[in-house]
Amino acid sequence: MKVSTSDTSVLQIDVDGIIIGSYENDLGEAAASKITDALSPILDLGDDYSGKFKENLLLYNAAGVIAKRVMLVGLGKKEKVDHEKVRVAVALGAKALRKRGVKKIAVEAVGGDAQSTAEGVLLGLYRFDELKTQDLDKLKTIDEVVYCGNDADWNKGVNIAVGENHARRLAELPSNYATPTYVATHSKEILEPFGVKVLIHDEKWAEEKKMGSFLSVTEGADEPAKFTEMQYYGGTEGDQPLVLVGKGITFDTGGTSIKPSAGMGLMRGDMGGAAAVIGAMYAIASLKIPINVIALTPLAENVPGAHATNPADVVTASNGKTIQVENTDAEGRLILADALVYAETFNPHTVIDLATLTGSMMIALGDAFIGAFTRSDDLWKELDEAGNQTYERFWRMPLDKKYRKLLDTPLADMNNVGGRAGGASTAAMFLGEFIEMERWAHIDIAGVGWTTAVGDYTPKGMTGMPVRALAKLAEKYIK
């Protein structure tokens, strides 16, 4: 889909459809009153449309408008409009236009909020259809979106949404397409044009770094593991970086501790953490946010095989600690362990890891909140704020030594599982063994990585979360 801007007003532009916001019981305010003539007949009718949040009305041949269709989208009461409502209203309007087979649409800053308008259009219209070859004509597609205006906010929303859509796509791609090699080379392809240096490390590099924990996960796989290191120096030379770490299991069968078959296909999305980190890097670099960021994605397939790790095998991580791999399905923490040790070598001010880490997290919070574990009250506040500002909201979960006890084992320094109770917190405590700094947060996105129902601006499937929150957080670190 082509995205462009125009100096022509939304009323004057010749397209198949335009989207105009309106407030509840205040239709006169629609598009800053510019389409009052077209609206007066509706107002006269009374109850046909009142501009309630999520309400839509399609007008044809509206007076004073050149476009063939006007999609009025309701924002609710003016004093209660926020970014999320704009995102939702615009997405619903764009999708409703698409249903009509419309090819070219135009928008203005709905609710005066250009960034959320951009996010609503691009996130709302996102669809994963690249692997379909049949009935493509039935899948109606909008080819072009024009923004009538010219401001940085629109551009910001576009870049963030494109970043989040990259994350959705990477997570959605099945494992025979999105192999560790593909994810690594694709990261390079989309990030290098924005000046990001992308190093793709191989297994030999990981061996030299003594990443025995990371490597133990790929033992059963034919597909070579990769470890991508993305460096973005948008800030001042010598400034401490923010380091993002994303779990990149391109498929999680569970390994020798194999998972049940039902629903296992969703485990193609077990690199949602890596996908979000890559998408956030795209947003940050394309927006030229003036900070330094390093993104690390350990990438591997977790499958059984003759060479696969057996339960109770003991492996040694790059900080020298020994781990009993009691359950090969608790593999995310194994690849993150070495990545966190490596993360700390960059002298970062903050480290954030993102992972579809535990089923336990999904049970605890569902898809409404993202679990956040951190020792730092300051970092928690920053996350909380970024989450609320972008509607990718976090909920603080406990990191406490009580949970660490559950990982004790006679065989090694720690076990990789601690039983069902408190599973998200034992996993977080496990990770804490591999990073010492206070300003570290572990984000468990298992509950929000994918949805089983179509959302207002989220298709059924991989959500790309929380790219928006990460981009917002990055902004907070501008000096």
With CB atoms as reference, the residue minimizing the distance to ligand BES is 359
All residues at 6 or more sequence positions from 327 whose CB lies less than 8 Å from its CB, including other chains: 257, 311, 416, 417
Number of chain residues interacting with ligand BES (CB under 6 A): 16
Map residue 262 onto helix, strand or coil: coil
Catalytic residue, candidates 34, 77, 259, 476: 259
Residue 41 contacts residue 64 (beta carbons within 8 Å) = no
Distance of CA 20 to the CA centre of its chain: 28
Among Mn ion, Zn ion, ligand BES, none, the one that 187 touches (CB under a kind-dependent 5 to 8 A) is none
Taking alpha carbons only, the member of 468, 469, 450, 453 closest to residue 270 is 450
Taking alpha carbons only, the member of 106, 117, 107, 104 closest to residue 143 is 104
How wide is the angle at C-alpha 154 spanned by C-alphas 291 and 27, nearest 5°? Answer: 140
CB of 357 to Zn ion, least distance (A): 7
* C-beta closer to ligand BES: residue 16 or 331: 331
Determine if 462 is a binding residue for ligand BES (CB under 6 A). Answer: no
Tokens of 393: 């909201």
Q: Give me the 252-281 binding string for ligand BES, x by CB under 6 A, dash otherwise.
A: x-----------------x-----------
Taking alpha carbons only, the member of 264, 166, 181 closest to residue 218 is 181
Among ligand BES, Zn ion, Mn ion, none, the one that 318 touches (CB under a kind-dependent 5 to 8 A) is none
HSE (CB half, 13 Å, CA atoms) of 362? 12
Residue 321 contacts residue 404 (beta carbons within 8 Å) = no
Determine if 270 is a binding residue for Zn ion (CB under 5 A). Answer: yes
Determine if 353 is a binding residue for Zn ion (CB under 5 A). Answer: no
All residues at 6 or more sequence positions from 199 whose CB lies less than 8 Å from its CB, including other chains: 228, 229, 230, 231
Q: Tell me how far apart the alpha carbons of residues 59 and 56 are, in angstroms, rounded to a whole number.
A: 10
Determine if 332 is a binding residue for Zn ion (CB under 5 A). Answer: yes
Q: Which of residues 321-350 bind Mn ion (CB under 5 A)?
A: 329, 331
CB of 249 to Zn ion, least distance (A): 5
Which residue is it, tokens 């990443």?
Answer: 211
Helix H or strand E encompassing 468:
helix 467-476
Determine if 252 is a binding residue for Mn ion (CB under 5 A). Answer: yes
Determine if 24 is a binding residue for Mn ion (CB under 5 A). Answer: no
Number of chain residues interacting with Mn ion (CB under 5 A): 3
* C-beta closer to Mn ion: residue 113 or 329: 329
Tokens of 299: 């990438």
Per CB under 6 A, the list member of 371, 423, 432, 459 interacting with ligand BES is: 423
Determine if 75 is a binding residue for ligand BES (CB under 6 A). Answer: no
What one-character DSSP code corresponds to residue 23?
Answer: B
Sort residue 457 into left (φ over 0), alpha (ψ -120 to 50) or beta: alpha
Q: DSSP strand E in 67-143: where?
A: 69-74, 104-107
Q: Tell me how far apart the alpha carbons of residues 146 and 94 are, in angstroms, rounded to a whole number.
A: 12
Per CB under 6 A, the list member of 362, 365, 379, 435 interacting with ligand BES is: 362
CB of 463 to ligand BES, least distance (A): 12
Helix H or strand E encompassing 123:
helix 114-125
* C-beta closer to ligand BES: residue 198 or 221: 221
Determine if 444 is a binding residue for Mn ion (CB under 5 A). Answer: no
Among Mn ion, ligand BES, Zn ion, none, the one that 327 touches (CB under a kind-dependent 5 to 8 A) is ligand BES
259 is catalytic: yes
Determine if 252 is a binding residue for Zn ion (CB under 5 A). Answer: yes
Taking alpha carbons only, the member of 183, 312, 301 closest to residue 253 is 301
Phi first, then psi, for residue 73 (nearest 5°) are -115, 135
Determine if 219 is a binding residue for Mn ion (CB under 5 A). Answer: no
Determine if 458 is a binding residue for ligand BES (CB under 6 A). Answer: no
HSE (CB half, 13 Å, CA atoms) of 183? 45
Determine if 360 is a binding residue for ligand BES (CB under 6 A). Answer: yes
Q: Which stretch binds Zn ion (CB under 5 A): 149-157, 263-271, 414-422, 471-479?
A: 263-271
Residue 18 contacts residue 10 (beta carbons within 8 Å) = yes
Among Mn ion, Zn ion, ligand BES, none, the one that 17 touches (CB under a kind-dependent 5 to 8 A) is none
Among ligand BES, Mn ion, Zn ion, none, the one that 88 touches (CB under a kind-dependent 5 to 8 A) is none
CB of 211 to ligand BES, least distance (A): 18
Q: Which of residues 307-346 bind ligand BES (CB under 6 A)?
A: 327, 329-332
Catalytic residue, candidates 333, 393, 468, 472: 333
Residues that bind ligand BES (CB under 6 A): 252, 270, 327, 329-332, 356-360, 362, 417, 423, 446
Which sequence positions are flagged as catalytic?
259, 333
Residues that bind Zn ion (CB under 5 A): 249, 252, 270, 332
Residues that bind Mn ion (CB under 5 A): 252, 329, 331
